[in-house]
Structure 1
Amino acid sequence: MTLLITIIVLALVFDYINGFHDAANSIATIVSTKVLTPFRAVLWAAFFNFVAFFIAKYFSGFGIANTVSKAVIEQYITLPVIFSGIVAAIIWNLATWWLGIPSSSSHTLIGGFAGSAIMSTMIANGYTTSGFESIKYEVIIKIASFIVLAPLIGMIISSLITILILYIFRRVNPHKANQWFKKLQLVSSGLFSIGHGLNDSQKVMGIIAAALYAAYHKNGIDMGIHDIKNIPDWVAFSCFAAISLGTMSGGWRIIKTMGSRITKVTPLEGVAAETAGALTLYLTEILKIPVSTTHTITGSIIGVGAVKRLSAVRWGVTRSLLIAWLLTIPVSATLAALIYFLLGTIV
């Protein structure tokens, strides 16, 4: 029971960290364009993060949570596996936050979960197998493919929206249009924050659901979940609340990267980027695919910058971000595997 409670607490801590780590995703442009002060911006984003709970509960469901919980084959899910994965994810998230790198909390969590399961299976089989039989390849591959697809989709949609806006408003006074788009940014950032809440909160829900399932089937602890698909309401409410509180704490290091280092963003471009990011997240919600809100909004910001001119995008910064994204799953998996191994030697 102690380990299960520890896992639930750590999962909610991760969710909280995810909130302030990813706060920049939905407020970077409204802060950089001075539409809202940083404090008001995080309150705005946190509110819509929590609104997402009611949308998921009464309309869209928790399909992403189910996908995450199935990344590892059920017979290989144990409490030590989940514990190691969460600890690894927290370490990587804090490290990238400190360095100001907008990495993916989603892929950190998936990588950690898979890495500890692989090490657990290797140890159980006396190192005679690779341990990869413990993970569901189709789920992992689908999630990993969106490291590229999510920012690409966001970039394409934001480019199209920007071109459309420029065409529609071509005869409008620039100063007047700028004032309109500053107000519209409140709407677009709210829409993106809803997408952020829908996507990222469910990832932690999936991990807690897996822990409750393992506790019942492996440890005989009954906390109301006998099937990994049946997620109790208190889990959903807690996860959405934790990410909202985390968002209120802000993430100023990453806001600087997202809001100005990739490309200088105007209110018009902010509306286009946030709307494109929101549409991408809503699409993946329908498909039940956990994606990175970080990757999505970054691709959208690149898209609006590229419409202006290709040189407006700081491609050196973009390359550094891409490298960090590609490293997230293998580094998190390796770290989780090491933590699981050390945990076994200590315990």
Structure 2
Amino acid sequence: MDVSLIVIVVVVTALAFDFTNGFHDTANAMATSIATRAMPPRIAVAVAGILNVVGAFLSVEVAKTISSGLVDDTKISPVVIFAGLVGAILWNLVTWLLGLPSSSSHALFGGLIGATIVAAGLGAVKFGAVVSKVVLPAVISPILAGIIAMIATYLAYRMTERSDPETVSKGFRVGQIVTASTVALAHGTSDAQKTMGVITLTLVTAGVLAPDAGPPFWVIASCGLAIGLGTYLGGWRIIQTLGKRVSDIQTPQGFAAEAASASVILTSAHLGFALSTTQVATGSIFGAGAGRRLATVQWGVAGQMAIAWILTLPAAAIVGAVSAWAASTGVVGTVLVAVVLVAAAGGIYAWSRRNPITADNVNDVPSVDEQTPAAAGLA
């Protein structure tokens, strides 16, 4: 396949991944604000989309980590990157259909690693960087965010326990607008960079950019717009999971969860750690749930999420590896992979329409407290 053509194919596929990243991860910023009704659903996703675009221009450190830090760019080709993106996109769509807030970032890393191993062997993967920049942050960040959110929630209730509940609720709703917007900004800063890094890596492997080059302006702008558009369309299935199925979130908890998420994500983006904003936000929401006395937290849902997190890297790696093997056979193989991707995406979307979740019904589920046997008088 002509080099210029495959580069275009990879750029388009990368932006498609960026789009799925946006609607998959909208919940990270807005789930709690929508659940507490601090913001109407459609306004919330519009604000998040705009701030995702703005955030994309704030830093390129994570993009550099991906474009030059995880795999040996001298041993792979744009076809390999295309195959890795296929693995990431399919995993994003499957977990979105199931309403599971898994990591788009780790899906991307898994797909890229699996494709690289098939194409160039284990030696082409910089496992030291994978462990230090991806695996360790994945373990530490949700725990750290959860602890911060739990402490912040406890302090918020202690400091306001003698105040009028309605006044407290209104005050924290205003605060949530600020904190949720900060998370959306942080999400654009962190996650848009991952696609920037992939496109930059593609341009380096194709000889268009010099090794260790940063992303050009057009790459930054297109990635910001793609993730912002995906965010605006709203990943309502995952918003419902994080906002309504983890804990009965009140406004002080929502404020604490969002503040904790923003602080962890922005700090890591500045340091170049390509962590999962999904895992950070999820850890914060569970921490906020645990920080309120007598709150009910659905730890079974946490177990389902943990399984999805564990499976993300290997599952995306397997799909990326198979895609790389097929694409390596030539033009026909690459076209076949693209056709399978489009067909699978269409099938997943069609399946989702059997039980649509939209801005109009995203909050139409019983609270967690009402779902427990004790609350239903069955204990």
* Same fold? TM cut 0.5: yes
CA distance in 1, matches of 2:139, 2:295: 21
Contact 1:72 1:117 in 2 (8 A): yes
Aligned to 1:133: 123
Is structure 2 residue 261 aligned with structure 1 residue 285? no
Contact 1:147 1:325 in 2 (8 A): no
Aligned to 2:341: none
Superposition deviation, residue 324 in structure 1: 0.3
| 1:38-117 pair list within 5 angstroms | 38-54=41-57, 56=58, 61-69=59-67, 70-117=69-116
Cα offsets for 1:278-331 (capped at 9, x unmatched): 001012112210111110010001111111258721110001100100110011
Q: 231, 250, 256: which is aligned to 2:215?
A: 231
Q: 153, 169, 178: which is aligned to 2:160?
A: 169
| 1:320-331 pair list within 5 angstroms | 320-331=304-315
| 1:132-211 pair list within 5 angstroms | 132-142=122-132, 143-211=134-202
Superposition deviation, residue 162 in structure 1: 1.3
CA distance in 2, matches of 1:9, 1:53: 18
Superposition deviation, residue 146 in structure 1: 2.1
| TM-score, length of structure 2 as denominator length | 0.84
| TM-score, length of structure 1 as denominator length | 0.91
Q: Which has the higher helix share?
A: 1
Superposition deviation, residue 99 in structure 1: 1.1
Secondary structure in structure 2 of the residue aligned to 1:230: coil
CA distance in 1, matches of 2:98, 2:212: 36
Superposition deviation, residue 8 in structure 1: 0.3
CA distance in 2, matches of 1:315, 1:92: 23
What do you get for the CA RMSD once the two structures are aligned?
A: 1.3
Structure 1 unaligned regions, length at least 5: 122-130, 217-221
Aligned to 1:18: 21
Superposition deviation, residue 170 in structure 1: 2.5
Contact 2:56 2:190 in 1 (8 A): no
Superposition deviation, residue 50 in structure 1: 1.6
CA distance in 1, matches of 2:278, 2:255: 16
Secondary structure in structure 2 of the residue aligned to 1:312: coil
Aligned to 2:289: 305
One-letter identity of the residue aligned with 1:136: K
CA distance in 1, matches of 2:165, 2:123: 59
CA distance in 1, matches of 2:105, 2:20: 12
CA distance in 2, matches of 1:80, 1:27: 36
Q: % of aligned pairs identical?
A: 39
* Count of residue pairs the alignment pairs up: 326
